[in-house]
Amino acid sequence: MMAGMTDTPHPLYDRHAETLHRALTAITERGYWSAYPESPSPRVYGETAAADGKAAFEAYLGGDFPLDQPTDGDRVATETSPFGVALNVSYPHATADQLVTAAAAALPAWRDAGPQARVGVCLEILDRLHKHVFELANAVQFTSGQAFVMAFQAGGAHALDRALEALAYSYAEMTRHPATASWEKAAGKGDPLRMSKTFHVVPRGVALVIGCNTFPTWNSYPGLFASLVTGNPVVVKPHPRAVLPLAVTVRYAREVLAEAGFDPNLVLLAPEAPDEKLASTLALHPAVKIVDFTGSTEYGDWLEANARQAAVYTEKAGLNTVVVDSTDDFAGMCRNLGFTLTLYSGQMCTTSQNILIPRDGIDTDQGHKSFDEVAGGIAAAVGKLTADPARGVELTGAIVNDGVLERLDEVTKVGEPVLESRTVAHPAFPEAVVRTPAIVKLDAGDTATYSREWFGPISFAIATDSTAHSLEILRATVGEMGALTAGIYSTDEAVLNAAEQAAIEAGVHLSANLTGGVFVNQSAAFSDFHGSGANAAANSALTDGAYVANRFRIVQSRRHV
Q: Count the alpha carbons within 13 Å of 142 in the hemisphere toward its beta carbon.
A: 22
Name the strand (E) or helix (H) holding 322: strand 321-324
Q: For the segment 122-145, what is each residue's pLDDT rounded down to a tens digit?
A: 999 999 999 999 999 999 999 999
For residue 9, pLDDT over 90 is answered with no
Closest CA to 166 of 75, 109, 227, 243: 227
Inter-residue contact 490 to 467 (CB < 8 Å): yes
Q: For the segment 404-457, what is each residue's pLDDT rounded down to a tens digit?
A: 999 999 999 999 999 999 999 999 999 999 999 999 999 999 999 999 999 999
> What domains are there in the chain, each with its CATH number?
13-170+200-316 (3.40.605.10), 321-512 (3.40.309.10)
How high is the pLDDT of residue 8?
64
How many whole angstroms separate alpha carbon 83 and alpha carbon 151? Answer: 13
For residue 5, pLDDT over 50 is answered with no
Inter-residue contact 345 to 397 (CB < 8 Å): yes
How high is the pLDDT of residue 6?
43
How high is the pLDDT of residue 10?
86
Q: For the segment 491-527, what is each residue's pLDDT rounded down to a tens digit?
A: 999 999 999 999 999 999 999 999 999 999 999 999 9
Closest CA to 111 of 262, 287, 288: 262
What percent of the chain shows pLDDT beyond 70? 99
pLDDT band at 1 (very low <50, low <70, confident <90, very high): very low
For residue 29, pLDDT over 50 is answered with yes
pLDDT band at 317 (very low <50, low <70, confident <90, very high): confident
- The three state secondary structure string of 60-104 is HCCCECCCCCCCCCCEECCCCCCCCCCCCCEEECCCHHHHHHHHH
Q: For the segment 337-374, what is each residue's pLDDT rounded down to a tens digit?
A: 999 999 999 999 999 999 999 999 999 999 999 999 99
For residue 178, pLDDT over 60 is answered with yes
For residue 263, pLDDT over 90 is answered with yes
Q: Residue range 331-336: average pLDDT?
A: 98
378 dihedral zone (left: phi>0; alpha: psi -120 to 50; beta): alpha
Give the amino acid at 161. D
How high is the pLDDT of residue 248?
98
What percent of the chain shows pLDDT beyond 90? 97
Q: For the segment 56-77, what is each residue's pLDDT rounded down to a tens digit?
A: 999 999 999 999 999 999 999 9
Q: Residue range 536-560: average pLDDT?
A: 96
Give the amino acid at 111. R
For residue 2, pLDDT over 70 is answered with no
Q: For the segment 193-211, what is each residue's pLDDT rounded down to a tens digit?
A: 999 999 999 999 999 999 9
How many whole angstroms separate alpha carbon 156 and alpha carbon 152? Answer: 5
pLDDT band at 188 (very low <50, low <70, confident <90, very high): confident
How high is the pLDDT of residue 427?
94
